Amino acid sequence: MLALSSRREAFYERIQELQALGAAQALGHWDMQTHMPSQAANTRAQTLSALGALAHERLTDPAFGDAIQALLDTPSDDATETALLAEMAYRRNRALSVSPQWVRQFETASARGYGIWADARRDNDFAAFLPALQELVTLSRQRAEILSETASGGNLYDALLEDYERGATVAEIDPLFDALHQELVPLAAQIADQQQPEPDCFEGKSFDLTVQTAFCRETLTAMGYDFTRGRMDASAHPFTTEIGGRNDVRLTIRSTTAHPLESVFTALHEGGHALYEQGVDPALADSPLGTGTSLGIHESQSRLWENAVGRSAAFWRHFYPRLQAVFPQALGDVDEDVFLRRVNRVTPSLIRTEADEVTYNLHILLRYRLEKALISGSLAPAEIPEAWNAGMTEFLGVEAPNDAHGCLQDVHWSGGSFGYFPTYTLGNLYAAQFYHTARQQMPDLDARLSQGDLLTLKNWLNQHIHVFGKTRTAQALALSVTGEALSPQYFLDALRQKYLSGAV
């Protein structure tokens, strides 16, 4: 029998190998969505499938399981090692639920799905995407069924939600989201009624994409995003990915010449994700613990920067003159108050990523409902367009003119990421609670933001959230930062204070 020291050495060697394989997969996915030639899709799918299968093989290797168990059976004073052992035991048990054949099929379907979705979205052709969606739903349901059996029952969707928000369940989320729905619909209507109609200060104007990109880069630099450890590119759907750890964290933005705020808000949003990854304790670098603890907490960082900061009067007091300076013809004669009202206009919209902070969650609640139905089997993939359009009418009172502006707008299903969407709303709730605490602890925060000082907030987030990586659960982190469990009240109170008090 191997000595404990040999088991420990084998354990850490395997960790390094798994990290390297994960980095290779992340790099392949990043390139696929940014620079890969369109004709390379099938080859890339085969590459990612092979990498996924190899990572699954290494993770489920019996010798690795023996090493984990031997170390677990020997109490350690090293809290980081204890957390790492628990994390790898958890990941290994999840991986053992599916076969290598399933992994290959899923990785291939996921990689191919992106290209098929991108073309279908461009061509407004849901039928072209349907076979890929059907395969991904089937594969996801197969895995959910196995994991649910292992967990002695439970909702099938719980098994997939666990991938993104560990410990969260439909039984907990449903009442939370139902209550939020009941509050948001009348609140959005009340806010809309109070808004005075005025011309759109962007309408009929053009905003150069190169200038937008430079402004986004300036804003990210002010936030503290380290371009020596990251980069900014463009993609059909904005995203952030870390490739092997905190020293290679890349983000993308999406821009349009008709609307300068889309690029700015995607930069702030993705920048929030990137600051989290870059801010993890260096001692956790190159480790499975050296990343965000959950997608809900991750989304709290992106939504905090996008909404709490990016839609605030304090932020634009400094950055609007800069935006006017780079777009003098389009914005030179637009008053700051007019611009701020445009930034904070509340109106139901077709596109989730362009939605205001009040109606945004209604988009998520619709997707959550559809995902649960897809995984339970009560909704067939072919029925998605009809169900989507009915839901948009019910939740937001708008009708999608086509599928490109409807059920094809999001990238998530093309990669089989079922269970991801609820984390956006959880992120909004966490963000409001974190920001409330930050403002209590830093009473001069607004004054700092109005002077262009974004680093004070970034440093506070580093210290209280980012540094811990995956060593604390989402629930424990929220409790340690705010002194309370997650509550939707901070989010709702912030909206009421902002929009019903006459602030905007």
**Cα distance between the two ends of the chain:** 70
Closest CA to 240 of 215, 216, 276, 210: 276
Active site residue 270: yes
Q: What are phi and psi of 206, to 5 degrees?
A: -125, 135
Question: Any alpha helices (H) in 151-279, and if so which ranges?
Answer: 156-161, 170-194, 209-223, 260-278
- Assess contact for 457 and 438: CB atoms under 8 A: yes
- Burial code (b: 16+ CB inside 10 Å, e: under 16) for 19-51 equals bebbbbbbbbbbebbeebeeeebeebbebbbeb
Copy the structure tokens of residue 32. Answer: 């696929």
Amino acid at 395: F
Helix (H) or strand (E) holding 241: strand 240-242
- Assess contact for 405 and 427: CB atoms under 8 A: no
Can you state the percent helix, strand and coil of the chain, rounding each to 5?
Answer: 70, 5, 30
Cα(318)–Cα(452) distance, rounded to whole angstroms?
A: 5
* Residue 242, strand partner residues: 249
Look-up of token digits 């984390």: 423
* Helix/strand/coil for 167: coil
Q: What is the pairing mode between strands 249-253 and 240-242? A: antiparallel
Question: Any alpha helices (H) in 352-444, and if so which ranges?
Answer: 360-376, 384-396, 422-441
Amino acid at 426: L
Q: Which of 270, 306, 357, 371 is catalytic?
A: 270
- Assess contact for 413 and 133: CB atoms under 8 A: yes
Show which residues are catalytic. Answer: 270
